[in-house]
Amino acid sequence: MNALALGVVGYGIMGERLLRAAMDHDPAAVRVAGVWDPAPSAMARLADAFPGVPRLAGPDAVIAAADCVYVASPPATHLAHAEAAVAAGKAAFLEKPLAVDVAAARRFVAGAGDARTAVNFPFASSLAVARLAAWEDEGVVGVRRRLTIEVAFAAWPRPWQMDAAGWLAGRAQGGFTREVVSHFLFLARRRLGPLQLLSHAVDYPPGDGSELGITAELRAGDVSVRLAGRVGGTDKADHNLWLLEGDRGAIRLRDWSVAERREADGTWREAADAMANERARPLVLRRQLDAVAAMTRGAPHGLATTAEALDVQTVVEAILAG
């Protein structure tokens, strides 16, 4: 098989992360066909970091050069780039969220049909999530009863996102619910099934800034789901928890990558292979790229489908609508 020719639209934080993963990957499996970003400063950073990577003139040039286009631009532009890639007969791998316009996203998902499209929710390839699934298979949880999702931030955007604060801090496209909570709702959707939003509340600052806090009650089948998120009240730049409880025990994912199970005495024990997110991320991105290559070939893959991403987006936008 020929190496996957991966094109990247958008050289922000996520575009750079996946590009680095692709450059570190086996060149017989993945090669970078080219990158485009509308910001000259981003293209200058690309030239400094990866002088050998083709810097292309626009999104159409990326689509023409690639087998699969990774859409890593701001959320409001995702669908236009993905639609252009699909129309050209190319695969499309979209950064989350799928979009911010639910109606437009619904039309895209319906129109794309069986096209080779997927969304970058890395929990689909997470080693820690695989450990949680294995524990469930072993009967650690038993009958599922409750899921709790909590996120908290010392400030928003987080320190490493300040270059993109222009849209990340805004109500139109940004906020932690789209950027972070969506990951954990995807995990709930993937593990427990479709989500039903029962009640919700959102706290906005004056003006057009993104949310400061959210709460929601949901259901996934017979499982009750409680969601809470806030900016402030913690000194951690980024804290999160996904906790599933059942009639026999409990398991949780902490701070993106640490799988833990609750012992009989109530204490939590990390998985033997648990690792911090900084160490886990390159392994997860490599697995994501392997799945992208499979998706582009039309082979089975475990990536988040656009239908799953639409379900998540529908819940997220309903919460943000207040």
Question: Quick check: helix, strand or coil at residue 298?
Answer: coil
The tens digit of pLDDT for each residue in 18-50 reads 999 999 999 999 999 999 999 999 999 999 999
Q: Give pLDDT, residue 216.
A: 98
The tens digit of pLDDT for each residue in 286-309 reads 999 999 999 999 999 999 999 999
Structure confidence at residue 314 as a pLDDT band (50, 70, 90): very high
Extents of the domains making up the chain:
4-121+282-302, 124-275+312-321
- On whether the 4-121+282-302 domain is CATH 3.40.50.720, my answer is yes
Please determine, for residue 112, whether its predicted confidence score (pLDDT) is greater than 80: yes
Express as a percent the part of the chain with pLDDT over 90: 98
Counting Cβ atoms within 10 Å, is residue 48 exposed (0-12), middle (13-18) or buried (19+)? exposed
Spatial contact of 38 and 31, defined as CB atoms under 8 Å apart: no
Please determine, for residue 98, whether its predicted confidence score (pLDDT) is greater than 90: yes
The tens digit of pLDDT for each residue in 160-218 reads 999 999 999 999 999 999 999 999 999 999 999 999 999 999 999 999 999 999 999 99
In this structure, CATH architecture of domain 124-275+312-321: 2-Layer Sandwich (3.30)
Question: Quick check: helix, strand or coil at residue 200?
Answer: strand
Alpha helical stretches, state H, the chain: 13-24, 40-49, 59-65, 78-87, 102-112, 127-137, 165-168, 176, 182-192, 277-297, 306-321
C-beta atoms surrounding 209 within 10 Å: 15
The pTM (predicted TM-score) of the whole model is 0.97
Angstrom distance (rounded) from CA 145 to CA 139:
14
Strands 91-95 and 117-120: parallel
